[in-house]
Chain A
Amino acid sequence: MDSALIPRGVKRCPFPQFILFIAIVGAVLLWGVYAMLLCWFKGLNQTNMNDFYGFALWIWADLAVIAVGGGAFFTGLLRYIFGKDDLKNIINYAVLIGFICYSSALLILAIDIGQPLRGWFIFWHANVHSMLTEVAFCLSCYFGVLTIEYIPLVLENRQINKVPFFHHLGHNMHEIMAVFAATGAFLSFFHQGSLGGVAGVLYGRPFAYREGLFIWPWTFFLFTWSAAACGPCFTILVTKITETVTRKKLVKDTAIQLLAKISGWMILTYSIAKTADTWYWATVTVPSLGQTLMDFYSNNPFYGIWILILEIAICGFIPAFILITKKGRKNSAALWIAVFLAVTGVCINRWVMVLQIMAIPVLTFENWVLYLPSWQEIATTILPLAYGVILIAISYRYLPVFPNEPELNPIETLPAEEEEAVEPSVELEQELKPAEA
């Protein structure tokens, strides 16, 4: 039914099967949309946020998707600025994943602010003393960059590409993509950093407070570093999941191996820096504020020292050592484990920096306060996941997301299909046009 829209040289499942899949995931999406509308029409009393938890599950989800979405800016930086040509085979997918992550982050923020109609206040009535203002600016602008990076892929759809204007537009955008990628890297560096920079002003919360360089606490750099390190792992993880679901090899090993290797070294250096930061914080900063390390990991039913070990050792050093060794990253099972651990590690880091901070008592008469999100918060956090699955499914079906797919998965065409396949497209007509003297 939709064969005219499917890229040439690739095979897709029958249209009814595709629609069924979209309908199932769409039901989850609608559940999230229902919860979102409850939050908008009835207010934030639909959540379990309270005086202790002004940030909730959403803000963790927000920071987590921004961190794992960092694969787009870092892969773009490597591809367009540092000229790593092997990554051209995975850059489309990295951009798509980044686009989903950042649009999800903006959606979550739109729910979280309670009154989305006043969302523009942050631009017009900007509080220029807030790092979160910079985050909002950079996040919105970088989403614009990702949209610009995603548009050429949409324009490469078989039917859209037949329109001369769109064909030329896509080509022109490809030509100056390095400018957009550089702008994206600049914006990403600052908003990832500013999210970590918040810790520098949390003087009243010794668990979070960090010292640093001038106005930037060390967490400013660690947040950017961790996003650049673990974002590509998320790109690899989603690529592997897509390959498993489609039962096809979609990206050449050279691209995956290069990204995994770079990511491995980034994770290793990040983990060393994070260990040094934690050591200094535990031995200098925390005692100077009248507390000890174990104050933050005892006398409560959930947060123990295990979370620190899990974040830095198990989800930091282990994936790093797997990915920096050729043997480790060439082993499929080890690669799966490494990228999964790396992604888990950065999500735990954001959890700790958002939710554990607020669980810890800061006044002598306070106790630990644990947090259980409401179903509306859970549904609206799952909403971006369903949206992401749907957008990936539609993009995979109708757009040439994986340039290596036809080569890696050659298909035997039936006579009827062959007839359809030779239907002249603008591109083919151009290729077959005799050269002019």
Chain B
Amino acid sequence: MFPFSFEWIWDMGHVVFMGGLWYALTILGIGMSYCIIKAAMDACRGNDEHHH
């Protein structure tokens, strides 16, 4: 549910619940985007400096 949905009400419940969900999803999304973009760049550059 987003603030532009017709069911949305600007109260503490909606802000805390939905805000928490977006917050978690944003961290996971940014984290994975960083990993994927950096991996693509490393692969294109042929960067082989790390082993694990």
Contacts and interface: CB of A to CB of B under 8 A. Distances in A.
B35 A176 contact: yes
A183 B27 contact: yes
Interface stretch (A123-131, A223-231, A342-350, A367-375): A123-131
Contacts of A166: 39
A168 B34 contact: no
A171 B52 contact: yes
Interface string B5-48: 10100000110111011001101100110111011101100111
B52 A174 contact: yes
A137 B21 contact: yes
Chain B: number of interface residues, binned into ranges = 20 to 34
Chain A: number of interface residues, binned into ranges = 35 or more
A260 B33 CA distance: 36
Given A124-B5, A179-B27, A430-B48, A168 B17 contact: no
A141 B51 contact: no
A141 to B, nearest CB: 4
26 contacts: A123-B21, A124-B5, A126-B1, A128-B13, A128-B18, A129-B13, A134-B17, A137-B20, A137-B21, A141-B24, A141-B28, A144-B25, A144-B28, A164-B42, A164-B43, A164-B46, A166-B39, A167-B43, A168-B39, A169-B39, A171-B39, A172-B35, A172-B42, A176-B35, A179-B27, A186-B24
Interface of A: 123-126, 128-129, 133-134, 137-138, 141, 144-145, 148, 164-174, 176, 179-180, 183, 186-187, 190, 427, 430-431
A163 to B, nearest CB: 8
Looking at B7, B18, B48, which has the most chain A CB atoms within 10 Å of its CB?
B48
B1 A165 contact: no
Contact of A172 (B13, B17, B25, B39): B39
Chain A to chain B: the 8 pairs with minimum beta-carbon distance, closest first:
A128-B13, A169-B39, A168-B39, A168-B42, A172-B35, A164-B43, A165-B43, A128-B17
B28 A168 contact: no
Nearest to A155: B39
A128 B14 contact: yes
Interface of B: 1, 5, 7, 13-14, 16-18, 20-21, 24-25, 27-28, 31-32, 34-36, 38-40, 42-43, 46-48, 50-52
Contacts of B16: 128
Contacts of B17: 126, 128, 133-134, 137
A134 B14 CA distance: 11
A148 B7 contact: no
Contact of A148 (B20, B28, B46, B48): B28
Contacts of B50: 171
A172 B34 contact: yes
A348 B27 CA distance: 35
B32 A148 contact: yes
A166 B14 CA distance: 39
Contacts of A126: 1, 17-18
A176 B28 CA distance: 11
Contacts of A124: 1, 5
Given A126-B1, A137-B17, A165-B40, 10 more contacts: A125-B1, A128-B14, A129-B13, A133-B17, A137-B20, A165-B43, A167-B43, A172-B38, A176-B34, A427-B51
A183 B24 contact: yes
A246 to B, nearest CB: 25
Nearest to A133: B17
Contacts of B18: 126, 128
A286 B18 CA distance: 36
Contact of B35 (A128, A169, A190, A430): A169
Contacts of A165: 39-40, 43
Contact of A173 (B5, B35, B47): B35
B6 to A, nearest CB: 11
A75 B29 CA distance: 23
A152 B42 CA distance: 16
Nearest to B14: A128
Given A126-B1, A128-B13, A134-B17, A431 B51 contact: yes
